[in-house]
Each structure stands twice: as C-alpha cells, then as structure tokens.
Amino acid sequence: MTLTCGVDEAGRGPLAGPVYAAAVILDAAQPVAGLADSKKLTPRQREALAPEIRSRAVAWAVASASVEEIDTLNILQASLLAMRRAVELLTVTPGQVLVDGLHRPRLAVPVRAIVRGDATVAEIAAASILAKVARDREMLALHQRHPQYGFDRHKGYPTSAHLAALREHGVSIVHRRSFAPVRVLLGAHGGPRP
C-alpha cells in the first residue's frame, strides 16, 4: 500500500511572521472526523482537531521558513521550502505527496499539486489544520513580544488595524520587508524597529 502524504501551508498572505507548512500521513484505520480546509473551521475547531490528527496519523511534521528567508527567496519559494522541510521531517517516507495549490516542492518522492486540495483530500485538509494551528500559536507568541501590532487578533494579515499599527509604531523585525505595505513604510521611515 502506498502511503500518501498531504502537505499545505499557512501564512502566505500576512505582512509578518514565518510561513508554516505541515505534512500528514493519515491512518485509514483511524479516520479523523470533521477534517476540512482550515480556513472553513473556527479556531476552536482547529484546536480540537489538531491533537486528534497528531495522535491518529501514521506520521506528521510541521516546519517553517523565517521572515528573513521569505524576504530573501520570496514568499512562494519560502512556502515551498517550508513544505520540503515538513516532508523531510516525517519519520516515515511516503510513496507520494499531494500538495494544495499549483506549485510543488522538490522532493525525492513523486509530488502532485491539487488546486483546492485542502477541500477535497483528507491528508491535505489535516495538513492545513496543523500548519494553521502552529502559525497561529507563533503569532500569539509574537504578540507577547510586540503587543502594539495586535497579532493576537489579525495574525499578521494586512487588516486596517494592522496597517494603522504599522503606521503608528513603524516596522518591527518580525515584519516582511519584501511585502509592499511594509516596503513602502520602510521607505518613508527608515529601518525596522526591534
């Protein structure tokens, strides 16, 4: 039997924080009820499903790419890097990898990209949940260090509140300098603040 690994990322669109990816090989003998695209679930539902996925999966792993890697490589390449890292961290080698979206990381096993795979493939849905939970936790930790930006509320996405905080407090070291709203502010105000 070929082991199928689902892979998805969380955090491509935000202006701050790392991008996360998860890789999950589900156990057909221990299905997880309620799997869905993480964006369609509430934070409470994701937090409830994550430990179930981790305990029932054949294998799972979460990895990230840093803000510096995002700014150096670009967000797409950093996302693919996080995906590759997650798959390489698995304790079991899958026979195939299914990735949400259009792009595939370079791996030593066959990889197929599936548009809207997080809504149609259980393994990808599980990966989307683990990646989102891990990234949200990271953003809550960043909120403790940088409360003025409100990361606990918007998780780094370019909401009007986040943009207003950026204008008021300037760019922090956890902001992605390559993203246009941040780049524009850096041009107007100089370098990042700690």
53 and 15 within one domain: yes
47 and 129 within one domain: yes
59 and 35 within one domain: yes
**Is residue 187 predicted with pLDDT exceeding 90?**
no
Question: Which pLDDT value is given to residue 129?
Answer: 97
Domain that includes residue 164, residue range? 144-189
Of 136, 152, 181, the one marking the end of a domain is 136
CA pair distance 12, 22, nearest whole angstrom: 14
Q: By the 8 A CB rule, do 53 and 60 touch?
A: yes
Query: Measuring CA to CA, which residue among 153, 145, 150 is closest to residue 167?
Result: 150
116 and 175 within one domain: no
> What secondary structure letter does DSSP report for 27?
-
87 and 37 within one domain: yes
pTM beyond cutoff 0.75: yes
In-domain check, residue 194: no
Alpha helices in the chain (DSSP H): 43-56, 67-73, 75-89, 117-120, 122-145, 151-154, 160-169, 180-189
Question: Which pLDDT value is given to residue 147?
Answer: 97
Cα 142 to Cα 21, 145, 148, 156, 187, distances in angstroms:
18, 5, 11, 10, 24
Q: What is the pLDDT of residues 107-144, one digit of tens each?
A: 999 999 999 999 999 999 999 999 999 999 999 999 99
179 and 98 within one domain: no
24 and 79 within one domain: yes
**Is residue 36 predicted with pLDDT exceeding 90?**
no
Q: By the 8 A CB rule, do 100 and 8 touch?
A: yes
Of 136, 160, 179, the one marking the end of a domain is 136
169 and 123 within one domain: no
In-domain check, residue 47: yes
132 and 159 within one domain: no
The domain total for the chain is: 2
Q: By the 8 A CB rule, do 138 and 23 touch?
A: no
